[in-house]
Chains A and B, each alone.
Chain A
Amino acid sequence: MSSFFEHIFAFNSESPLLFTQFYFWAFFAMVYAVFAIIMEAGAWKKGNNVLTQPSRTRLHMRNIFLMVVSWFFYYKTSGIFLLILLFITLSDWLIAKRINDCQQRSRKSLASIWLAISIIIDLGLLCYFKYAYFFTNVINDFLGTNFQVFDLFAYIGNGFSHQGCFIVDSIILPVGISFYIFQVISYSIDVYRGHVKPVKNLLDFGFYVSFFPQLVAGPIVRANEFIPQLYRPFRLSKRLVGLAIFWILNGLIKKIVLSDYLAVNLIDRVFDNPLLFTGFENLFALFAYSLQVYADFSGYTDIAIGIAMLMGFYLPQNFDSPYKARNPQEFWRRWHMSLSRWLKSYLYIPLGGNRKILGRPVKDKVRAGNFNSFITMLIGGLWHGASWNFVIWGALNGAGMIVYKVWNRMNWHIKMSLITALLIAVYYLRVTQDMPAMNLFLIWVLAIWIGALIQYLYWWYKNIKNSNKAASLCTKITSALGTTWAIAQTFVFITFTRLFFRSGSNLDPATANQEAWETAKNMVNQIGGAWNSSIIPNFLWEYRYVVILFAVGMLIHWLPTRIKRWYRVHFALMPVWAMILIAVLTIVVVYQFITADMQPFIYFQF
C-alpha cells in the first residue's frame, strides 16, 4: 500500500505521472473528488435540488486548488525543475504588468524594452536547457573548438561548486519546457499588442501557465483563449461529459494500442538499428511511424482535452485528421494546430508575413510569404528538437509548402516539362552515382511523373472537349481520384520528412547530431539499396498484428469526418451506465496491449 502512495506522491524521474499509467488515473480520481467537493459542498439550493452557480470565491478556490495540483503534477515529472516553472510564472506576470503600464502611459518604446526582456528571459531559459548541446556542437564544428556544456544551475545549486548533489557536466531538459515557454511568450506579446489585459491575480496567471492536462505536451493554449475561462460560470452538460469520456478513451486507444504497440514491436527497433533490416522493413517502419507519431501525440492531447473538459475547461483542438491533407500547407493547418497558430501569430507575422522580408517591405506578397514561412518552418523544426535533423525536417516542410504553392500556379505544360526534367536528372544521378538513395528517389519521382502525366493528359482532353458542363459522374470520379492522389502524395512526402524527425528523437543530446544523421542516412540507403522483395510475404505474415493495426489505424484515420462525428455524438448521448461499461471494456483491452508479449525478433535476410 505504501508503495502505491509513494508512486502517486513521490518524485521519481523514472516513473512520471503519465496519462497512460494507472497511477495517473488514481491521482486524477482523487483530485476530481476534491474538485467536486470544492464546487459543490454546501451549494445546494434547499427544496428544488438544484445546484446554484458556484460563487466567485468557489471558482477562486478551485483555481488555486488546481494550480497546486498542477505544480505537484509537474514536480512528479520534473522534480526540482518546478522552480523554473514558478520563476517563469512570476517574471512574466510582473513584466506583463509593466508592459501594460507603459502602454497605458503611451510609452511605447519602454513597453518594447520590457517585452524584449521578457522574451529574452523566456527564450534564454529555453535555449539554455534545450539547445545548449546543439549550439555547443555547432560552434565546435564550425570553429574547431572543443567546448563542453556546463550546467550553470547545477553549479549554483551546489553552492558555486563543481561537486554536490547536482551534476554540472550535463544539462537535463525539463519536461514540457517548450510548451509552457511558448505559452508565456504568447501572453507577453498579446499584452503588448493589447489583445489581452494583463492578469491581475498572480495565482490566476500561475493556473494558466501550469494547468496540468496540457502542461507537458500541449495543446499550446493562448492567454486570450484560456484566461477568460477562469471565472466563467461553470456548466457541464451530460453531452459534454460524454464527449470528454470519448476523448479520453479515444486518446488511450490511440496512445497505447496504435502508438505504443507499433513502436515497441517494430518501429523503434528499426530506427535503433536500420541496418539490421531490409529495405522493405525500413520503409514499412517509416510509414508506420507516420501513424505512430500521430497516434502518440494526438492521443495524448485528446486525453488532455477530455480531462480539462471534465473540469469545465476547453482546450483548443490540436489535430484534425492531418493525413487527410491534400498538400503540405493544409497538413500544417491540421497537424499540431495550436503550434501552427502560435508560429503564425508570433513568428510568421513578426517576421513580416507576406509584406516584409527581413524588415524591408516588398511588393511581391508571394515571395515575402514564401520566404517568411520557410524561416518559420526552419525555426519551428528546431523547436521540436535540438539537432540538425529537426532543422532539415523543418526545411523540408517549408520547401514542400513553397513547391506546392509555386506548382499550383504553374501552367500544365510547364509542370509537365519540369517534372520530366526532374525525372531525367534523378535518373542521370542514379546511373552515374553509386548512391542507393537514388533508387528511392527515382521510384518516387517516377510515381509522381506518372501521376502528373495522367493529370496532364486529362487536362488536355478536357481542354479539347471544353466540357465544363454540369458535374457528371465522370467528373465526380476524376475529382475523387485527384483528391486521393493529392492525399497520397502529401502523406508520402510527410512520411519522408519523418525520417529526419524520428531519427533525431529520443537521443542523448550530447551526440544527437551525429547519431540522428547516421540513422537517417542508413535508413535511406537500406530502402534504396537493400531491398529484398522476396521477404515481403514472410514479413507481412510474421508481423501480421503490426500490419493489421497499421492498416486499421490508417483506415480509421481516413474515415470521413461526418462518420467520426456521428459515432462521437452517439457515444456522448449514451446512458451513463453504457459509457462506464465501454470505458471498462476499453481499459481491459488496452491492458491486453500493455502486457502483450513482444514481437520476437525475426530475421528475413541472411
Chain B
Amino acid sequence: MRPFKITIYIWSTIAILAVLCLLVPQNGWNIAGWNLRWPTIEEILNNEAKSPKEETIGDDSWYSLLDDFDEEDNKLYEYSTIVLSDSLATTDSASTTTKQIKKPIEIDPSKVDSRNFLASFYQALDSAHIMTVRVVHYGDSQIEEDRITSILREMWQSQYGGGGVGLIPLHQTIPTVSLRQSISINGATQSTQGGPKRYLAYGPSSMRLNSGLYGVMGQVAVMDNNLVSGSQNITMNISPFSSPYKSYNYFNRIRIVADNISANVTKPQNSTIISNTPHYTIVQVPDNTTHCTIELVGQGNVYGISLETPTGIIVDNIPMRGSSGNIFSKIEQTALTNFYQETNTRLIILQYGGNMIPGTTSQSGLKSYMETLRKQIRHIRACAPFASILFIGPSDMSKRVDGEMETYPLVPVMDHLLAKLAEQEHIAYWSLFKAMGGEGSMVQWKNQGLAGSDYVHFTRAGANKAGKMLYEWLDWKPDNGFINFEVPNYEQTITLPTTILEPANTAPLITDTIIPTQTDTIDVNLPKDTIVPIVNDTTPTEVPIKIASDTITTTIIPNDSSEIETIIDSLAIDSHTTPIPNDSISK
C-alpha cells in the first residue's frame, strides 16, 4: 500500500472525528440515557477553552447564604474587670474582690485576625511546663492515620514538652502512622472485624447507639457478657509503628477512659495506678515508655486510652471517616465536659466539610449544613468553655470535567461560608484550601506527590506539608496583645486574688513556714479554672480539680520547698495572663 494512500486514510479518519465534533452538541449526545461525550473543535484547537458549565453551584448567591445572621445575637463583648473592694479594702485582707463586666466591642470581627480567638490556648501554653495543655483534633479522613495531627504534636512537644500520642481507641480498625495496636480476648488476637462491639456517632447508621454514650472520641467499644465473662479479659498491646521513634512515642502515663472497667498495665512492669474512678483510671508508667500492654477486666464501655505525660502538650488525633462533623450534639454531654475539664483541654480543632463537597447540590442543603455546624460549635463551647476552638475547612478537591481535573465549584463556597461561620461564632478559622494555593492547587499537589490519586486525600508527604503550614500559622503572637474577647454564652463572675497578680506579693500566699520533708497544709487562693498540681512524696503528679466556688482552698503536700516555689511561680505567671483590672465602672 502506498504511503500516500495511508496518509489519506489517516486524514479521513481525522476528518470523520472532526465532523463528529460538529455533530455532537457541547454537553454530549444522550443515547438511551447514556451521555456520549465528544469535544468541540474549539476545545481541541484551544486547550484553554472550556465549555460553559451547566451547573450553577458556586454562583454569587451561594456565597451569601450566611448573610442573614443577626450579629446582635452573638455580639462580641470585651472582658473588663472592676475592683469592687477598693473602697472596702482593709489592711489585713489578703485578697480583693473584683467583678467582671461585659461591654460590647466596637471592632469589626471580620477585620480581626481570627487567631485572637485562640487566646485561651496561647495563654495556657505558658504553663505547659507544669501541667498538661490538651489539644483535641477532630476531623474527617483527611486526618486519618494521625496525619497532620502528628506534625502539630511533634512540633509542639519539641517546643513545650510532653509526650504520648493522646487518645487512641481500644480497637484500632484504621491504622495510624504513629502506633501499632492489637487486642486479644483471652489470648486470641482479634482482627479488625472481631473484638468488642463498636458503636460510632458517625459512619453507617447500623453502628449507632441510642444512649449517645459515645464518649470523647465519638466511638465506644462495649465489653459485655457476649464478649467477656467472669475472669476473662481484653489485652491491648501498643507499640510504636516504626523506628526511629518520635517524641510522641514516649510517655509515662496511661489514662483509660472507660466506665466500670478495671485496667491493669502489665507491661512495663513497675507501673502504679495513681487515680481510679468509675470513669477513668490513670496509671503511672516509667518515663520514656514506648511499648505497653494493658489488661482490661469487667463489663462496661471503653471510650479511649490516652498515652500522655503529666506536663507539656498532648494532642489527640480523632478522625471520623466519612463524617461532616455534625455529630457532637449527639454525644452524651457530660462525657465531653468531664474529659475536657479533667484534661485541661485548651484547644479543640474541628476539621470537616470535605465529605459534604461531592454530594451537596442545593443551597438549602448547604445552608442547613452550616446551621448544623453552628449548633455543633456552640455545643462544644458549652462543653469546654475554657477551650479555644479552631475550625479547619476542606482541602482543595478536584473532579474530572471533560477529562480535565477541576476544583469542585463548592469548595471555594464552602471555604468562604465556613470562614464566615467562624467569624459569626467567634472562633478561629484556617483555610486549608487557601493555604494549599486555592483553586486548582489539588492538581499541583497531586503532581508533586503531595496528594493521592483521588484528588482528595493527601499523601504522607502532603499531610506533613499541611501539618507544617498549620503549625506555622498557629505559631503566632498578636502585635498589641490579645483582644480580650469574651466568648458568648459564657458569663461569669469570678473572684481574682489580686495578691498573686503581683509577683512581689506571692509570698503571703504561703501561710505557714515550710520545712522540707514535713507535711504541711497551706491555704492558697487560686483563680478559677486553674489546675492545681499536687505534689506527693513519691513523684510529682497532678490531679485536675474542677473549681466551683469563687474562692477555693486546696491542699498542697510538699516534700521539697523548691517545688512549692515552682508551683507558686507558675501560678503567678498564669495569673498574669488572666485579665488584669484596669477599668472602672464609669468607663
Task: List residues of chain A with CB under 8 Å of any chain B CB.
Answer: 1, 3-4, 7, 14, 22, 25-26, 28-29, 32-33, 35-36, 39-40, 51, 236-238, 240-241, 263-264, 268-269, 272-273, 275-276, 278, 310, 434, 506-508, 511, 515, 518, 522, 525-526, 529-534, 576, 579-580, 583-584, 587-588, 591-592, 594-598, 600-601, 603, 605-606
Contacts and interface: CB of A to CB of B under 8 A. Distances in A.
Contacts of A603: 141, 203, 321-322
14 contacts: A26-B14, A29-B10, A32-B10, A241-B6, A273-B145, A275-B177, A276-B174, A506-B449, A508-B449, A591-B403, A598-B455, A603-B321, A605-B192, A606-B202
Given A269-B454, A605-B173, A594 B46 contact: no
Interface centre among B174, B182, B321, B455 (most CB of A within 10 A): B174
Contact of A598 (B3, B144, B400): B400
B452 to A, nearest CB: 4
Interface stretch (B36-44, B248-256, B501-509, B578-586): B36-44
B48 to A, nearest CB: 6
B578 to A, nearest CB: 42
A269 to B, nearest CB: 5
A506 B453 CA distance: 12
A3 B47 contact: yes
A595 B173 contact: no
Interface stretch (B223-231, B259-267, B296-304, B456-464): B456-464
A584 B200 contact: no
Interface centre among A40, A269, A533, A601 (most CB of B within 10 A): A601
Contacts of A26: 14
B45 interface: yes
Given A1-B46, A32-B6, A272-B454, 5 more contacts: A39-B3, A238-B1, A273-B457, A576-B9, A601-B457
A14 B47 CA distance: 14
Contacts of B203: 603, 606
Contacts of A35: 3, 7
Nearest to B405: A598
B205 to A, nearest CB: 11
Q: Is the interface of A mostly helix, strand, loop or mixed?
A: helix
A580 B9 CA distance: 7
- Rank and list the top 8 A-B pairs by shortest CB-CB distance, nearest first: A268-B453, A272-B452, A606-B203, A36-B3, A595-B403, A4-B45, A36-B7, A269-B454
A569 B4 CA distance: 23
Contacts of A576: 9
A269 B453 contact: yes
A529 B47 contact: no
Contacts of A534: 193
Interface in B140-168: 141, 144-145
Interface string B17-28: 100100000000
B548 interface: no
B9 to A, nearest CB: 6
A40 B4 CA distance: 7
Contact of B452 (A36, A269, A591, A592): A269
A14 to B, nearest CB: 8
A530 B181 CA distance: 12
B145 A275 contact: yes
A449 B476 CA distance: 63
Contacts of B13: 580, 583-584, 587
A606 B140 CA distance: 11
B358 interface: yes
A50 B185 CA distance: 86
Contacts of A4: 44-47
Contacts of A39: 3-4
Contacts of A587: 13, 17
Given A275-B145, A591-B37, A32 B3 contact: yes
A532 B47 contact: no
B394 to A, nearest CB: 13
Interface in B32-76: 36-39, 44-48
Contact of A32 (B7, B47, B177, B459): B7
A264 to B, nearest CB: 6
Contacts of B237: 434
Given A1-B45, A36-B3, A531 B192 contact: yes
B481 interface: no
A3 B457 contact: no
A76 to B, nearest CB: 15
B402 interface: yes
A368 B467 CA distance: 53
Nearest to B203: A606
A600 B191 contact: no
A522 to B, nearest CB: 8
B6 A276 contact: no
B516 interface: no
A584 B461 CA distance: 42
A508 B449 CA distance: 7
B193 A22 contact: no
Nearest to B182: A434
Nearest to A584: B16
B360 interface: no
A15 to B, nearest CB: 9
A294 B459 CA distance: 25
A580 B17 CA distance: 11
B460 A518 contact: yes
A595 B400 contact: yes
Given A241-B1, A595-B403, A532 B322 contact: no
Contacts of B455: 598
B245 interface: no
A580 B38 CA distance: 18
Contacts of B4: 36, 39-40
A268 B452 contact: yes
B46 A40 contact: no
Nearest to A581: B16
Nearest to B453: A268
Interface in B185-222: 189, 191-193, 200, 202-204, 207
A532 B141 CA distance: 19
A22 B17 CA distance: 11
A329 B182 CA distance: 40
B510 to A, nearest CB: 53
A3 B193 CA distance: 55
A340 B56 CA distance: 55
B2 A606 contact: no
A518 B321 CA distance: 22
A434 B293 CA distance: 14
B486 to A, nearest CB: 39
Nearest to A531: B191
A518 B37 CA distance: 40
B453 A263 contact: yes
B465 interface: no
B288 to A, nearest CB: 22
B234 to A, nearest CB: 16
Contacts of A508: 449, 461
Nearest to A236: B1
Interface string B388-402: 000000000001101
Interface string B420-463: 00000000000000000000000000010100111111011100
B69 to A, nearest CB: 32
A606 B460 contact: no
B193 A531 contact: yes
Given A275-B145, A518-B460, A51 B7 contact: no
Nearest to B403: A595
B12 interface: yes
A241 B1 CA distance: 7
A29 B175 contact: no
Contacts of A276: 141, 144-145, 174, 457
Given A310-B6, A530-B192, A601-B456, A595 B175 contact: no
A37 to B, nearest CB: 8
Interface in B357-411: 358, 399-400, 402-403
Contacts of B182: 434
